[in-house]
Amino acid sequence: MSKRLRFISATAVAVSSTAMPKKSKPDWTFSLVVTYNPFTMASEIRQEVKTQSAFPIGPLGIEAALEAKANPSIQPRLKIFDQFAVTDRVALVSGGNGGLGLETAIALCEADARVVYCFDLPEKPSEVFVASQDYVRRLGNNSRLEYFSADARDQQLLWKKAEEIGDKEQRLDICVAAAGIAKPQIDCLKYPAETFKEVIDVNTNGVFFTAQAAGRQMARFGRGGSIILFASVAGSVSEPGGGMVSYGSSKSAVLQMARSMACELGNQKIRVNSLSPGIIRTPMTREIVNTVSPILDAWLRSSPLGRVGRADEVRGVVTWLASDASSFCTGSNIVVDSGYCAQ
Ligand SMILES: NC(=O)c1ccc[n+]([C@@H]2O[C@H](COP(=O)([O-])OP(=O)(O)OC[C@H]3O[C@@H](n4cnc5c(N)ncnc54)[C@H](O)[C@@H]3O)[C@@H](O)[C@H]2O)c1
């Protein structure tokens, strides 16, 4: 067993989709919905359920159980963690110099990505990034974290950078568009044009150009892929106290962007989903969470868990969206907000 796979389980033998011959790769277009009839014979169920089996790691769940029943020499093994692995996949993450972008990138490395390419505005990566890069190197699964400088608003540059990654790695499977900015609260009737345009330019155009750059490579290699767009609860509900019309509008656009792209790219097995976090402690929200603000006040009062989130609390959901564990999920908006939007 390769070093790369050992992190999942000492006994698990995960088979990456690259290792599969082309014909046996999953083809989601043939997934069938199975209706369970308690009176159906087990063998018939087995036959029906077989049609679900599209995972490179073989039959799962009920199908695996029935297979094991039919063949007692089969030793059942844990497969759920394998479903979340992104073994040998290549990822692109915008805004990856810190905050939720970098948190996501580390999670993907732990989930066994071959390499995660992070980009952000500074010419050189931050100390936190360098420490994270070293941490990933020491994980021992051969995963890599790389950095390059780019502005998410530069469409041509992103296309070129993503193409270079494609040329080098011969694949690009995962994209996380996390670069974003927020401005202090300003009355919507006085909101300056330049500030409004700046927020839309990064949070909407930049997210689109990032998704587009990665999507072009996913289409080029024909393996499908998963694109995750960072939106926000502010794209669905207004910030308490107002003044965030640019941010909310920019994030609302991302919600529809994910749905539109998902519908257009589904036939190429490229999934596109958005993620809407609530308030999470990162450099972006430092001021909001460290000072007395109407936004924080309202948040603590109205979110059922009664706290702000930790950056590491996006690790699970991003890994789920990036991996085959979410293979039937596209065009969705996943809300991770302490229940804030639930009431
Ligand atoms: N932290 C939260 O509470 C929260 C909540 C909801 C949504 N979000 C969203 O999550 C994403 C990540 O936010 P975060 O909290 O980690 O913020 P952050 O400020 O820590 O990270 C954002 C990163 O984006 C980079 N960036 C900004 N403009 C860029 C550009 N033009 N090109 C490339 N990179 C650029 C920044 O340099 C920064 O490193 C953002 O889209 C944000 O809107 C955050």
Q: Domain span at residue 52? A: 3-16+29-82
In a domain, 22, yes or no: no
Q: Do both 43 and 66 map to the same domain?
A: yes
In a domain, 54, yes or no: yes
Nearest atom in ligand 1 to 231's CA: 7
pLDDT mean over 74-85: 95
Q: Do both 44 and 94 map to the same domain?
A: no
CATH number at residue 334: 3.40.50.720
pLDDT of residue 290: 84
Q: Give per-residue pLDDT as tens, 296-320.
A: 888 899 999 999 999 999 999 999 9
Which of the residue ranges 7-11, 58-62, 170-174 would you say has the lowest mean pLDDT? 7-11
Residue 50 has pLDDT above 80, yes or no: no
Q: Do both 63 and 92 map to the same domain?
A: no
pLDDT mean over 105-117: 98
pLDDT of residue 57: 82
Residue 85 has pLDDT above 90, yes or no: yes
Task: Name which of 110, 66, 111 is nearest 84 in CA terms.
Answer: 111
Q: Do both 278 and 313 map to the same domain?
A: yes
Between CA 147 and CA 124 the distance in angstroms is 8
Q: Do both 55 and 131 map to the same domain?
A: no
Nearest atom in ligand 1 to 280's CA: 3
In a domain, 306, yes or no: yes
Structurally, how many domains does the chain consist of?
A: 2
Q: Do both 338 and 200 map to the same domain?
A: yes
- Whether 135 sits among the annotated catalytic residues: the reply is no
pLDDT mean over 307-336: 97
Residue 153 has pLDDT above 50, yes or no: yes
pLDDT mean across residues, the chain: 87
In a domain, 24, yes or no: no
Residue 75 has pLDDT above 50, yes or no: yes
Q: Do both 95 and 120 map to the same domain?
A: yes
pLDDT mean over 271-282: 97
The end-to-end CA distance of the chain, in Å, is 49
Q: Do both 125 and 181 map to the same domain?
A: yes
Q: Do both 222 and 161 map to the same domain?
A: yes
Percentage of the chain with pLDDT > 70?
84
Between CA 142 and CA 149 the distance in angstroms is 23
| pLDDT band of 343, cuts 50, 70, 90 | confident
In a domain, 227, yes or no: yes
Measured in Å, residue 163 CA sits from the centre of ligand 1 at: 24
Q: Do both 49 and 162 map to the same domain?
A: no
Residue 21 has pLDDT above 70, yes or no: no
Mutate to test the pocket of ligand 1, among 282, 286, 296, 335 (most ligand atoms within 8 A of CB): 282
